[in-house]
Structure 1
Amino acid sequence: DPALPLRCNTCHAPLAEQQDDAALRAEGVTCAACHVREGHKLGPPVPVHRRLPAPGMAARPEPRFARSDFCLPCHNLPLDVAVAGRPLLDTWREWAASPYLPAGVQCQHCHQPDGRHHFRGVHDVAFVRGAVELRAHIEAGDALRVVAEVQNIGAGHHFPTTATPRAVLRVRQLGLNGPLAGTEALWALGRTVEWSDGWREVADTRVPASGVATRRYTRSRAAGATAIEVSLHIFPDWYYARFYRGRLARTDLPAAARADFAAALAEAEASAQLVDVIRLPLP
């Protein structure tokens, strides 16, 4: 689709000057993407506690800089490109349907606290740890039954919000020397989509804002098992890694492109991080 790059650039390289300048286009989202509108330099309203001028450019105050609707154009795709009734990027609507909107909590409160421009998100595992809580306990009975829960305690949208990241909940039995073979169970938390003449949703197991995902592990106790390990992992670039592997499987890929995809795959795979782990001793 020849129009696809232009649609991508609308958010990923949004400045008109970037369209014909490869070097500028490679910079992606720059300061001007948010702070220049129709030739005017804009910025957030000046906090009432600030008594001295702030360094940087002089900007006209714009109240929307402190509200979630400022984020809407690039953080929610239009409904006319919905997949199974929801756009692949539906973050703003998830927030609008959550308890965070009536509570007055905006995107900026978490992602730009006090106006800071770190833009922390799913690639920052410390930030992710503040968004979810992992809980687990062993149920009494003859069989080995474990209940594991992942609660969305801090994200004002689904966890994770887009189809790109994937969270994985893992339960396995441990012996004195580590994990025991054949005891592992994995559950994906994410939105799985596939492309075949159009996008198709395969599954959606994300955790809405303030929601809880509960998974149950029932197995026989393995010989030598001394504990249960429950862990939560986040893979921010999961979909990209899957895409790159598909490209590398092609036999007609030019050498230069193969090297680029291999480097991109290594970077995507390195994004996986451990969020939390719980170990429960077995009696």
Structure 2
Amino acid sequence: MIMFVSCLDSNFLESHWKHPIAEQGLPPVNFSDLEKNLDPNACGTCHKDQFQNWEKSFHAKSISKGFLWQKEILTSEEYRSCFQCHSPLAETKSELAVEFQTSEILNSKSHNFPKGISNPSILCASCHIRNQIRFGPPSRVQPANEHPTNNLPHNGYIVKKEFESSEFCKSCHESKKDGVKLAGKRLMEVYSEWEKSPFAKQGIQCQNCHMPDREHSWKGIHDKTFVKNSLLPTWTITEKNGNYKIQAELKSMGVGHKFPTYIVPKIYLRFYAILKDKLTPILLEESVVGRIVNTDLTEEYLDTRIKPQESHLVRFDYEPKENTIQEFLWKIEVDPDEQYIRSFEEQLAKKGDALSKPTKKLLQESLIEKRNSRYMLFTLSLKVPVSLPQ
């Protein structure tokens, strides 16, 4: 039975996320068939809530159609470099590239995944198992300073507080220091953004928001309720001599990094006027929140992301030709996959005919999925006449 207690240990994280992660090897001989099986379905036998949440998460979809179709346009080295985060285990990598189909890895896979690997994404073992040893956060039931003597499933586990620290997430959510930089910034700096935020100073970790109550769902920009609860839109409209002055603020209240993080998502703020006897609202102003770069990832055009607990402000005047305004609308739309959509559309137009039919189909299906990920976050309205803040 293994059960140790540790303080935060940078050496553990360095070792735990040292790539390439070695194959798990042969399971201990005293393990039952269930304990030997590293398939998430087997883990879900006892860890039901974690499995059910993981199954619906983006971790379980890290090897998706949008990932797989790119194998034909990337070099082997470029494609394999993505595995470090998208498919960290040696055994799952062997499902994706022949370079990982060594005798050692295939032997390990046959013993640890007896029914094969149907989903070579980020699995339970990707974070929790190294060399057949289980790791996890301190128990919420068993006091951390007690060492139980009864036999535990899979020989118990080694307690590591790092599982509840933002540092644990850094390996995959922060670009390497020598990675691509645009306007002096790496493509992913979510850990650095958090580190500079008031949340870090208050001890609020990534897990507090993205894994509340240890929920294995890792909700983010694609989840409307999650995003909606983190932002506060307010606006005022005043009128003087037929001229309307609109002032709007979108404040980041509960986001511990820049909103939105990375280069992929975009948020659109659109303001409309509804006129009498007009069916279609008139678009008055449009503003984008996000980091806009080209599809080649060589140039940044704009970065309007909101820092933690700061705001994006919009101010403009509108003077209609006739006094026929009935209502003002403010719509806030989220496009979680904007950068992917733009990039995939370009690849389909330029290289679609050169792709194999299966790969082209994967690209087309992925593009449809990403176009359908958009959602309306807020719709606010103010009747005319207006003078009070809403």
TM-score by length of 1: 0.90
My pick for the range that moved more, 153-162 or 257-266, is: 257-266
Match of 1:43 among 125, 133, 136: 136
Task: Give aligned-pair identity as a percent.
Answer: 27
Equivalent residue for 1:266? 368
Unaligned runs of 5+ in 2: 1-74, 97-115, 386-390
Match of 2:316 among 190, 201, 217: 217
Equivalent residue for 2:209? 110
Cα distance in 2 for residues equivalent to 1:137 and 1:49: 53
Q: 1:225 to 1:78 in 2, by over 3 A?
A: same
Shift of 1:26: 4.5
Amino acid in structure 1 at the alignment position of 2:81: R
Match of 1:17 among 88, 91, 105: 91
Cα distance in 2 for residues equivalent to 1:169 and 1:273: 13
Query: Where do 1:46-125 residues align within 5 Å?
Result: 46-47=139-140, 58-81=156-179, 82-125=181-224
Equivalent residue for 1:6? 80
Residue-by-residue CA offset, 1:140-160 (whole Å, 9 max, x unaligned): 434222111110000100110
Please say if 1:171 is aligned against 2:268.
Answer: no
Shift of 1:6: 2.1
Unaligned runs of 5+ in 1: none
Residue-by-residue CA offset, 1:180-227 (whole Å, 9 max, x unaligned): 34x34221100111144x522111010011010001232222653211
Is contact 2:267-2:288 (8 Å) kept? yes
Shift of 1:48: 5.3
Query: Where do 1:151-230 residues align within 5 Å?
Result: 151-175=251-275, 178-181=279-282, 183-196=283-296, 199-221=298-320, 223=322, 224-230=324-330
Cα distance in 1 for residues equivalent to 2:344 and 2:200: 37
Residue-by-residue CA offset, 1:14-68 (whole Å, 9 max, x unaligned): 1111222238485311111110134421011112578999x98632111100111
Q: 1:281 to 1:211 in 2, by over 3 A?
A: same
Structure number with the higher strand fraction is 1
Structure number with the higher helix fraction is 2
Equivalent residue for 1:252? 353
Classify the secondary structure of the residue corresponding to 1:267.
helix
Classify the secondary structure of the residue corresponding to 1:110.
helix
Q: 1:261 to 1:93 in 2, by over 3 A?
A: same
Equivalent residue for 2:227? 128
Cα distance in 2 for residues equivalent to 1:186 and 1:38: 53
Is contact 1:168-1:233 (8 Å) kept? yes
Please say if 1:33 is aligned against 2:126.
Answer: yes
Q: 1:241 to 1:62 in 2, by over 3 A?
A: same
Classify the secondary structure of the residue corresponding to 1:118.
coil
Cα distance in 2 for residues equivalent to 1:134 and 1:6: 42
Shift of 1:131: 1.2
Q: CA RMSD in A?
A: 2.5
TM-score by length of 2: 0.66
Classify the secondary structure of the residue corresponding to 1:79.
coil
Classify the secondary structure of the residue corresponding to 1:77.
coil
Cα distance in 1 for residues equivalent to 2:143 and 2:279: 55
Classify the secondary structure of the residue corresponding to 1:280.
strand
Q: 1:113 to 1:40 in 2, by over 3 A?
A: same
Classify the secondary structure of the residue corresponding to 1:190.
strand
Q: 1:24 to 1:217 in 2, by over 3 A?
A: farther
Residue-by-residue CA offset, 1:106-149 (whole Å, 9 max, x unaligned): 00001111111111111110000011111111134342221111
Q: 1:245 to 1:212 in 2, by over 3 A?
A: same
Cα distance in 2 for residues equivalent to 1:109 and 1:282: 42
Is contact 1:173-1:179 (8 Å) kept? no
Amino acid in structure 1 at the alignment position of 2:205: Q
Cα distance in 1 for residues equivalent to 2:133 and 2:77: 29
Q: 1:34 to 1:280 in 2, by over 3 A?
A: same
Q: How many residues of Structure 1 are paired with residues of Structure 2 in the alignment?
A: 280
Structure showing greater radius of gyration is 2
